[in-house]
Chain A
Amino acid sequence: MTEPAIQVTDLVRDYPRPRTSLLRASPPVHALRGVSLEVQEGERFGIVGESGCGKSTLLRIIAALDRATSGQVVVEGTDITRLPERRLRFLRENLQLVFQDPMSSLDPRMRVRDIIAEPLVVQGHPASGERVRELLDAVGLSADAGDRYPHQFSGGQRQRISIARALAPRPRILIADEPVSALDVSVRAQVLNLISDLVDELNLTLIFVSHDLSVVKHVCSRVAVMNAGQIVETGPTADVYAAPTHPYTRRLVSAIPTLQRALSGATTTDLVKGVLST
């Protein structure tokens, strides 16, 4: 068996809290308390959990945008946890991110073509207009979109631009941090399918984070459930959904609205009750 694309071992991240007392230091916030996971090459790995459970922190540490307090992250055989920025070039070329908020993830002062070309320029590739057009085409935008500014696009279109930027340096690993949670339901499926298709086509390893289980189910083959800075359950998506073992997972799964429940007359209130009782 080949080595995993990403291997996270016992990752801990504490954030200091501002002091409120002169005498005692405030207790730190434990964002991650010992997270371990393995993502195989070419796998579509989902991470679900409610907001504030440490999903984004985990992603940022894997992408070396934040530093772990302790623990280890190995990407494609290289331990990145203690590497200085100048030695992270391979990571910057091979691992890219798509962010949650389509409003804040594109610089409003840059043209779309410069946004997409940014990783290429930074990494010293010749930023050819052709590559940008190719990327725009890949995400289903017209070539003249490159001349416009982000504010001229809708949320879904902006997310496509974000995806194009992430794919520009031809990464092998794509991390998507709640890429559709800020989008309207009508656009959501299109963007999800786009990500799904591109991952297949380009043979990418995907880490897909969401608080929405149905979305993860749609995209991922394996899933980890996170709660309060820890991974409480990992397994093939179908198994986790069919037979959740951890109580937290059971609560999450039972909260998924289904057609059956809706037809039998369940209201939102019933769903909430169900969540509370399990």
Chain B
Amino acid sequence: MNDEGGSVSRGAESALGVPASDPAGRLDGPAVRRTAGRRLNPSLVVGGIIVLVIVLTALVSFVWTPYDATLVDPAVRLAKPSWSHWFGTDKFGRDLLSQIMVGSRTTLFVGLVAVGVAAVIGVPLGILAAMTRRWSSELIMRANDLLLAFPALLLAIMFGAVFGASTLTAMVAIGIATVPSFARVIRSGALQVMRTEYVLAARAAGRRPFPIALRHVLPNVTSLITVQASVSFAIAVLAEAALSFLGYGTPPPTPSWGRMLQESQEFLFSAPRLAVFPGVAIAIAVLGFNLLGDGLRDRFDPKLEDRR
């Protein structure tokens, strides 16, 4: 890759260094373009595919599931996997595959709202901390540390106790608990942007701080936001499962992977598949979003920034 970069810039210099072919001294020859597309890294591909599959599953579950996910059918209680019930059924005779499909909606919805809450609060805070004076930036970051010291689950359980257990309180609580990590990452990115000469040039042109934040800082930290969102999504998925498992998340009968795990407890030895299927679903989802985050991070690596 280094060779490629070197040859590209060398090519450009030699093009510039030949005034003879350009008597007017004009330099509108072909500029350095991004030639070869960068190689896709495996994490990005695998993570992307997993996430895509989950999203597709959730979308499909809106129009079609093998059975109604909440349909109780005592005739087929605890059925083993078969052609009519691919993943088997639970103690109420509900189809496991349908529940997992519908459960993916809950998972994605929770992740989306939690990450949304975290980003909407965390990104402006991070940029603010990077752009303001020392004392106010310290204040923001220390408050951030305080929030970071709170375990996300504890916060969510507190919220659940105060506002009642529901998917919404779980989402908001997970979101708030994720704010500090967003603020931190965005602050460091924004600090880097603030040190660039294009921000100096904007100031020299008379741009005020707020427009600089919008026009220069925000667009240049979007890659960080994407990466952080993806990683936080994985954490949110796990947190939602844990909360539902504890009974502080999605209330029945809405299917949720975490609650399926909890309901499978009493059959752990007689019918372990009841725990395995949602467990594997959670693991795959978390893995997928983490891989995607990692892949995106590699892709946006600042060392490759120049060649973008």
A interface residues with partner B (beta carbon < 8 Å): 60, 63, 65, 85, 88-89, 92-93, 95-97, 99-101, 103-110, 115, 118-119, 122-123, 140-142, 144-145, 148, 151-157, 160, 162, 165-166, 169, 184, 186-187, 190
Contacts and interface: CB of A to CB of B under 8 A. Distances in A.
Nearest to A136: B28
B34 A151 contact: yes
B200 interface: yes
Interface of B: 9, 12-13, 15-17, 19, 25-28, 31-34, 196-198, 200-208, 211, 215-216, 219-220, 305-308
A186 B13 CA distance: 8
Nearest to B11: A154
B34 to A, nearest CB: 7
Contacts of B220: 107-109
A245 to B, nearest CB: 35
B219 A88 contact: no
Contacts of A144: 28
Contact of A186 (B17, B25, B307): B17
A122 B207 contact: yes
B198 A104 contact: yes
Contact of A154 (B31, B34, B197, B198): B31
Contacts of B206: 88-89, 92-93, 119, 122-123
B13 A65 contact: no
Nearest to B203: A65
Nearest to B22: A140
B25 A145 contact: no
8 contacts: A65-B203, A89-B206, A92-B205, A108-B220, A119-B205, A122-B206, A142-B28, A154-B9
A145 B27 CA distance: 11
A142 B33 CA distance: 15
A118 B200 contact: no
A105 B17 contact: no
Contact of A103 (B33, B34, B208, B306): B306
